Amino acid sequence: EVQLVESGGGLVQPGGSLRLSCAASGFTFGSYRMHWVRQVPGKGRVWVSSIYSDGSRTIYDDSVKGRFTISRDNAKTTLYLQMNSLRAEDTAVYYCARDEPMAAGAFDIWGQGTMVTVSS
Amino acid sequence: DIQMTQSPSSLSASVGDRVTITCRASQSISSYLNWFQHKPGKTPKLLIFGASSLQSGVPSRFSGSGSGTDFTLTISSLQPEDFATYFCQQTYTALYTFGQGTKLEIK
């Protein structure tokens, strides 16, 4: 079964750090570009970051640039998001997703999400 | 960034109804528009990609149309399992953006 499973969310104080993981299974992880998307409960989804299949290129939304780092370990079929200098406005459910180049780049597989709460 | 404006934000309908949801892009995105369904406790499900292509396994009552800036998702005859949140996504640029979502509820 093709699956993405996020972990690593939790409660962290402002200014703190957290590392999210996304374990992939059921497909050739190293062949796909991967993404992080977040959603504040009750609000719309916001793209956060992307990484090419070989890790050679990363892209970030301006709101997280310089604070978040996306990475991947293709041998472990795992995607990561290192989040530093966290702010209250980073509170959200974080989803990892795969994009399918044969489907107009649509994010065709998503994880179930992991909640990050930034609060003192 | 390309802004995606989705409407309506919520919708009440009955089983058997025909339902239409729209997404408007702030600039042309050709046909790089995708539609998703999301139910509580489930992962988002891709319904339509490239504005009008039905994802494998998705019932044919779902259809998408449009190009440029204006797009539509249509459910031809609502079924009980269709009550969920629907959202659009543009993949024209690598700074991906999403519509705010439409919550489809039972009337």
Mind listing the pLDDT tens digit for each residue in A28-73? Answer: 999 999 999 999 988 999 999 999 999 999 999 999 999 999 999 9
CA distances from A39 to A92, B21, B33 (A): 5, 21, 19
Cα-based distances in Å from A20 to A65, A115, B81: 16, 10, 32
Q: Is the minimum CB–CB distance between A43 and chain B shorter than 8 Å?
A: yes
Among A residues 54-113, those touching chain B with beta carbons less than 8 Å apart: 59, 61, 95, 97, 99-100, 103-112
User: Do you find a cis peptide bond into B8, omega within 30 degrees of 0?
Assistant: yes
Name every chain B residue with its beta carbon within 8 A of the beta carbon of A46.
98
Contact residues, chain A, for B51 at CB < 8 Å: 104
- The long-range contacts involving B2-6, CB below 8 angstroms and separated by at least 24 positions, are B2/B26, B2/B27, B2/B29, B2/B90, B2/B92, B2/B93, B2/B95, B2/B97, B3/B97, B4/B88, B4/B89, B4/B90, B4/B97, B4/B98, B4/B99, B4/B100, B5/B99, B5/B100, B6/B87, B6/B88, B6/B99, B6/B100, B6/B101, B6/B102
pLDDT computed for residue B107 by the predictor: 86
CB-nearest partner of B34 from A43, A46, A106 = A106
Over residues A59-112, the pLDDT tens digits come to 999 999 999 999 999 999 999 999 999 999 999 999 999 999 999 999 999 999
Chain-chain contact of A104 with B32 (C-beta, under 8 angstroms): yes
**Min Cα–Cα distance to chain B from A44, Å:** 4
Q: What is the pLDDT along chain B (107 residues), one digit of tens a residue?
A: 999 999 999 999 999 999 999 999 999 999 999 999 999 999 999 999 999 999 999 999 999 999 999 999 999 999 999 999 999 999 999 999 999 999 999 88
Which residues of B fall within a CB distance of 8 Å from A109? 43
